[in-house]
Amino acid sequence: MRALVDWSVDVEAGPLGWQLVTTTLPFYQRNGLFRDWLAVASSGLKATERAGDQAGQAHMHRCLAGALYHLGDHGQARDHL
C-alpha cells in the first residue's frame, strides 16, 4: 500500500495521492503501522504543498497528527492540528 501512495505522489496524480492516504488510514491504524502511516502522510503533505491544494494539506496535517499521537509525540501532533 505504501508503494502505491508513494507512486501517486511521485507522478503528481493530483488529489489522488492524499486521498489514498486518507483511504488507507484505517489499515495503518488497525495494524499498528504508525511509522508507515507517518511516512505516507508526510509524502501526501509534500504533494499537496507542491500542488497548492489547501484542502489536501488540511487532511494531511490531520493524518500526521494522528500518526504522531500514536507514536507518542503529542507535542508535534498538536502542532499539526
Distance CA 55, CA 70 (A): 23
Alpha helices in 15-53 (DSSP H): 16-30, 34-51
Over residues 44-81, the pLDDT tens digits come to 898 889 889 999 999 999 999 999 999 999 999 999 99
Domain boundaries, the chain: 2-79
Type of residue numbered 34: F
Distance CA 65, CA 81 (A): 6
Q: What is the pLDDT of residue 52?
A: 92
Over residues 38-49, the pLDDT tens digits come to 999 998 898 889
